[in-house]
Structures are given as C-alpha cells and as structure tokens.
Amino acid sequence: MAFKFDYSEVKEFQELQEGFYEVVCQSAEEKETNNGKKYIQLDLVVRNDVNQSGQNLHHWHSMFRMKDGRYHQGVLMGLGSSFGISDQKEFNTFEDMLREFHGKAAKMKLRKETYNGETNLRVHYFNKTAFPQINHKWKEMVPSNSFPSHASEMPIDVSDDDLPF
C-alpha cells in the first residue's frame, strides 16, 4: 500500500475569539503595503505551555507608521515593555530591534472591530505575560531545501508547439 488516509489526526478548524491570550512572538518585521505604506507586523502564536484555548494558532498584529513617516513612539515603547524588552536597551539597527521580539511573550487582548464594513479580530492591547517562564514548543517546519529542486538541476526545453497560445 503506497498511501493510506488516517483521519484520527484530523482536527476541526479552530479560530480565535474575543478575549485574552498568552502569546509568543514568532517574528517581527517591517513590511510595505501595495500602496507603499510601511508597517511592523508581529506574527504571534498562542502559547501551548499555558492552559488556554487556541494553542498554536497565529494572530498577526500590524502597527502602521503615522502620517509623518514615524512609528508612534509611545505605542512602540509600550509594545516593547509588554514583550519584556529591557528598558534603555539600545539597538544598532531598526531590524535588530525587531529581532528582539522573537521568542518573547505577552498577554494579548483581542476584540472585534469593524472597518469599512468588515469585522475582524484585532489586538485591543498588550500587557506583560502572567507566565514569564516560556516553555512553548514550536511546531516543526519542513525546511524548504528538503524538497527536490529539479529546476536548478536540469534545463527545461519548451518549444512554441508546446504552448497553448
């Protein structure tokens, strides 16, 4: 038998609800919208070392630059404080500061907000974690280099006769 379905591993789709969640930051990076607006995006994972619903689910939090092109310093400093980044810590680059969030924990409050007629869960605020000892177990990711890449190993010949247009 080459392949067998085993539905004992199937889990129903679960989504986060309004409320509090203990989270750990998987990544923090600066991104840009299609319109050119820059923002910080935190990829937050609901901790699996704390007894709570939604374990291992992701929630993405975005913080946009203000009209003058800067991030709101009060909000950014509050974010750093909630995630336990040391007061007065200095960073060589903005990217170094963002990397500091990786693996740090906080308590997140989600609530429903409606914008342009669409209702979504958004972070209302962050507080310091009630569980500073982090024992979250990250799910294993399949490395992208574990899949064969035949494109780099041999050329592909396509003639005009092979194309449908």
Taking a C-beta distance cutoff of 8 angstroms, is the pair 65, 71 a contact?
yes
CA–CA separation, 94 and 157 (whole Å): 45
Mean pLDDT of the chain: 87
Say how many residues make up the chain. 165
Quick: pLDDT tens for 60-106.
999 999 999 999 999 999 999 999 999 999 999 999 999 999 999 99
CA end-to-end span of the chain: 41
> Nearest CA to 30 among 59, 57, 65, 58?
65
Q: What integer pLDDT is reported at residue 6 of this predicted model?
A: 77
Q: What integer pLDDT is reported at residue 147 of this predicted model?
A: 47
Quick: pLDDT tens for 114-134.
999 999 999 999 999 999 999
> Nearest CA to 27 among 137, 114, 102, 79?
102
